[in-house]
Each structure stands twice: as structure tokens, then as C-alpha cells.
Amino acid sequence: MIIKTAILIVDDREENLLALERILAHTDVMIVKAQNGNDALKACINHDFALALLDVNMPDMNGYELAGLMRGEKSHSATPIIFLTAAYTHDEQIFKGYSAGAVDYMVKPINNEILLNKVNVFLDIYRQKQELIQLNKQYLLARQEAESATRVKSAFLANMSHEIRSPMNGILGMTQLLLSDNLTSEQQRYAEIVLENGNHLLALLNDILDLSKIEADMIELEDIDFTLEDTLRFATDILGFSAREKGLELITHIELGVPSILRGDPLRLRQIIINLMGNSVKYTEQGRVVIRVSVQSEESNSLCLRFDIKDTGIGISECCLTEIFKPFTQADSSTTRRYGGTGLGLSISKRLVELLNGEIGAKSIVGSGSTFWFSAVFKKSPFQTIDAVPEEHVGWDSAIAAAPLQQTRCKFLIVEDDSNSQELMGRLIEMLGHDVDTVDCGSKAIAALEQTSYDLVLMDFHMPDMDGCQTTRIIRSNKACIINQQVPILAVTGCSALDEQERLFRAGMNDYICKPVQISVVKEKIEKWLMTSSKERKIDQGYNA
């Protein structure tokens, strides 16, 4: 519907209104007439005026009073007002008019041509303003549509990459089993190529899943108390294996003044650290990777921490330093051939850092090494203490120092509804020399744990009816499961572990293994938990004796 532009004319004398109407007839606008202030205010309810021509001297409510009341109304607070006055003698009166909201004055008798010119100027401004408002509305609508399309696209990508991970589990798991069979050297090579490419595809899927989740606004930040040292240790534990293989030292250093307990999102922080330190380990052949944490700035309730991750690796040329934070960008094309990778890790880290209200950057010297840094804002925890943590070396030495696990035959319970995954996990555990019972749902798992003593439970995270977390909560609180109440329960999770870690730990699980499962990871985790639980059993027996 096209609404005609309207002008309000107010004068207590009928003949003046008619005269004004006649002049304005040339403008092709709707004229709304009022003979007093009250009628004019009523007209304001129904119209949006491009201009108001107000007589100053009127009984009951004069022009200034009317202008003041119009200005008070939101819809007319910016309507241009021209006062029509019989004569102006005092400056004081003019100021009064302007302060009441006048944009102009005209003295009676009115010169028709001048009035018409002035009115046309204001009508032009009004029409341009209307066009701008219209354009702005269209722009906002287009922006909303574009944003929602991006969110839908990212949500689709996130769901799709999640769905693809399940069949990948079967492909990678079975290929690993195949590789442990007696294959000819040619078959071995083919299977290795399948595994290598599958792993690359999986890394890409994981990154796309993370990036699309961030872009689809599907990331909800946690606001919990956490220990900085634990977060760093978790990251160095994960990277310790690759660092040890290359003979690299991993060093963490938390500077004086950094509180040991912070409030914020430890999972996102951990993900950024793992991405950056993971790159450092990947692109460094010898030497060390050091992470240093310091206080960048402090407010009464929050503080901004700075993390510097320094390596002695291949370095990056100056021109590539800003580019590498863009998705799918690598410093040079030979990187993928030599080191693999997707070119997504840094863009994910950048977005995560921005979610934590921080900044990220890097400096580097080709051949000498790189320092990636980022800042992140955390709330101060009411439980915080400020400690100086000594430098901690995680690497070669600590790996040698670890006592080897005495290989004993243990009994495992696998809780998994998918038959392919059941078979894969079962074969894997048997290959590692242990016995396995398998059940396909939470209630059967509880029944089994009431009857038989197990050394370790592998629990699928997503199951119909009762999921892994619900089942674990019942096991941990059920007196009937007393023989297994402390049994280590490891979640086997199909989704990006980041989403689920907090939930599974809260439910009482001890650790998790990500699908698609990697034999080396399963081996490492179950050895760790079998060792922990056998130690605990020894302590228990000691107490009982």
C-alpha cells in the first residue's frame, strides 16, 4: 500500500487555511488541516507528516505549545516545523520558536513562491529519508536472510560431518584389524593407504564439524571453575605421544601471578592449546615446544591471560603469517604433502579465541621456529589461589620413567548397541589379550555388573532408551553393582569429544575414547586405567588387611 505524503497545516482562521491549501495544491501531497492544537494532535495520531506549518498565535494552545507536544511524540519528534507568524519583532520570540522545534519561520502575509520553494525542499528531504528507511529495511532483511542461510549451511555441514563419522568408524577400525592379520606385503600397503587416507578424511571431518558449529552459533560457552594446570596437563598428555616419538621436549610454564583456578570455558581453551601446540609438535623435527602463560591485564572481576606457544620448528615466512588464519590455508602447498593437515586448525582457533574475547597472532623466523600467541578473558574464581608453578617438562624422560604395565588377562564389558562397533571393539580387546563380554543396552550392562566383576567397562555414549551417561549414573549409585562400583568406565563417543566430555565426567565416567577408534589410543587408555584400578585395588587390599 502506497501512503501519500502528508503536510499538516494549523491555523485558527479558516480563510488562512484555505489560502495555504491553495498554494500547496501544486505539490501533490495530502493536506491535513486543523483549526486548533487539539485537532492537530488528533491528526498526528493517524498520520506521519512530512512537514507541519503552524500558526503561532492561536487561542487555547499556541503554535509553540503545540510544537512542544508534537516533539514529545516519538512519531513526530523529527517532523520539520515552519512557524507562520503575523510579525516577529523580538529575538526572544524567535529563540522560543526554535527551541520548540522550528526549522524555519515565515512572516505573514506569506509569499506564495517562497513558501512553495521551502515546502518542496522539505518534501524532497522527506522523500529521500523515506527511500533511505526503505533501503535500510531491505538491507536488514537481506542481511538476516544471508545470516540465517549461513547458519543453515553450517548446521547442515555440522550434521553431515557428524553422520559421516559413524561409517568412518567402521572403515578405519576394520582396516586396523585387517592390518594386524597376515597380509601379503602388497595387501599390507593397500590397507595402509586406506588407513592413511581415512585418517586424513577424519581429521578434515572433525575440523569441518568444529568450524561449522562455531559458524552456526551452535557453540555454547561454559562458565565453570577449572584448574589451569589440569587443562595444560590434559593438552600435553594428548600431545605427549607424538612429541615422544619425535624426541621433542614439551615444557609448560605458568608465570607468577596467574591464578590456579579460573572461571570460564576450559574445553574451548584446551582445544585452542591442543591446536596450537599440536601444530608446533607437527612442524618441529627437533628441540622443544614451550607453552608460557602470563597475566596480560587484570580488572576487579576478570583477567586476560596470554598464552605463548614457542617452537624450534620449520618456521613460517613473513608473507604467510596473516594468511594462515584463513580457512583451508597452508603456508605453502608442499606442507600438505609433507605434513598432511587441513588448513582449518588455525581458523578454528581464531574463532574460538574471539569467542573468549581474545586475540591471536604469530611471529616466526623461517628455519628457527615460531611463536603463536593468544589472549583470552576469564572471570576470577572465588576459589582462586595464586601460585607460582615450577617449570614442568613433559617428554622423553617422563616417558621412560613410566613403569610398564604387567600384562595380566583382564575382563572387559562392552556396552554398545551397534553390532559392527561391538565386533570391532571386541576383536580389538581380544587382540590386546583380554576377555570380553558384550551387551547391547544400558539395562543389560547393569544386570551384568550386578553378577560379574569386571576390570574395565567400555560404554557407548549414544544408545537408545538409556544412554551411556544415564547407565553410568545408575552403576555408580546402585548398591547391587557394589562389586563394580569403582570399575573404570570409558565412554566411546561418536561425536566431537568436546561436546560430551563435561557430561560424561559429570556422570561418573573416567575417560573417553573417540570414534573412529585408533588401536594405539585404545591401547594407551586401557593400559592407563587398568594400571590405575589395579593400584587402587592394592591400596584397598592394604587397608582391608
Q: Which residues bind ligand ADP (CB under 6 A)?
A: 279-280, 283, 311, 313-316, 324, 330-331, 335, 341-346, 370
The nearer residue to ligand ADP, 128 or 242, going by C-beta atoms, is 242
User: Which of 353, 350, 339, 364 is closest to 242 using CA atoms?
Assistant: 339
- Compute the least distance from the CB of residue 207 to ligand ADP, in Å: 7
The nearer residue to ligand ADP, 176 or 279, going by C-beta atoms, is 279
The nearer residue to ligand ADP, 281 or 504, going by C-beta atoms, is 281
- Compute the least distance from the CB of residue 314 to ligand ADP, in Å: 5
The nearer residue to ligand ADP, 175 or 284, going by C-beta atoms, is 284
The nearer residue to ligand ADP, 84 or 344, going by C-beta atoms, is 344
* Three cell numbers, residue 255: 608465570
* Surface-to-core class of residue 117, CB atoms within 10 Å of its CB (0-12 exposed, 13-18 middle, 19+ buried): exposed
Cell 516545523, residue located: 81
> What is the phi-psi region of residue 340: left when phi exceeds 0, alpha when psi lies from -120 to 50, beta otherwise?
left
The nearer residue to ligand ADP, 67 or 309, going by C-beta atoms, is 309
The nearer residue to ligand ADP, 375 or 472, going by C-beta atoms, is 375
- Compute the least distance from the CB of residue 197 to ligand ADP, in Å: 15
Q: What is the C-alpha radius of gyration for the chain, rounded to an integer number of angstroms? A: 36
- Compute the least distance from the CB of residue 221 to ligand ADP, in Å: 22
User: Which of 236, 390, 231, 248 is closest to 305 using CA atoms?
Assistant: 231
Beta-carbon contacts of residue 374 (< 8 Å; ≥ 6 apart):
272, 276, 306, 307, 349, 353, 358, 359, 360, 361
- Compute the least distance from the CB of residue 5 to ligand ADP, in Å: 56
The nearer residue to ligand ADP, 300 or 333, going by C-beta atoms, is 333
- Compute the least distance from the CB of residue 227 to ligand ADP, in Å: 26
Rounded Cα gap, residues 464 and 416, in angstroms: 10
- Compute the least distance from the CB of residue 493 to ligand ADP, in Å: 22
The nearer residue to ligand ADP, 240 or 259, going by C-beta atoms, is 240
The nearer residue to ligand ADP, 308 or 502, going by C-beta atoms, is 308
* Three cell numbers, residue 63: 503554535
The nearer residue to ligand ADP, 149 or 365, going by C-beta atoms, is 365
Rounded Cα gap, residues 79 and 73, in angstroms: 10
- Compute the least distance from the CB of residue 272 to ligand ADP, in Å: 11
Distances (CA, A) of 375 to 213, 226, 293: 22, 17, 10
Bridge partners (DSSP) of residue 389 are: 254
- Compute the least distance from the CB of residue 311 to ligand ADP, in Å: 5
* Surface-to-core class of residue 149, CB atoms within 10 Å of its CB (0-12 exposed, 13-18 middle, 19+ buried): exposed
404: preceding bond cis by omega (within 30 degrees)? no
Cell 527511500, residue located: 131
The nearer residue to ligand ADP, 331 or 490, going by C-beta atoms, is 331
- Compute the least distance from the CB of residue 367 to ligand ADP, in Å: 11
Contact 366, 315 (CB under 8 A): yes
Contact 164, 205 (CB under 8 A): yes
- Compute the least distance from the CB of residue 340 to ligand ADP, in Å: 7
- DSSP state, 154? H
**Which amino acid is located at 127 in the chain?**
R
Rounded Cα gap, residues 63 and 106, in angstroms: 13
- Compute the least distance from the CB of residue 71 to ligand ADP, in Å: 57
Q: How many CB atoms lie within 10 A of CB 68?
A: 13
Q: How big is the CA angle at 416 (ends 415 and 418), to the nearest 5 degrees?
A: 165
Rounded Cα gap, residues 173 and 196, in angstroms: 12
Contact 273, 303 (CB under 8 A): no
Rounded Cα gap, residues 377 and 381, in angstroms: 12
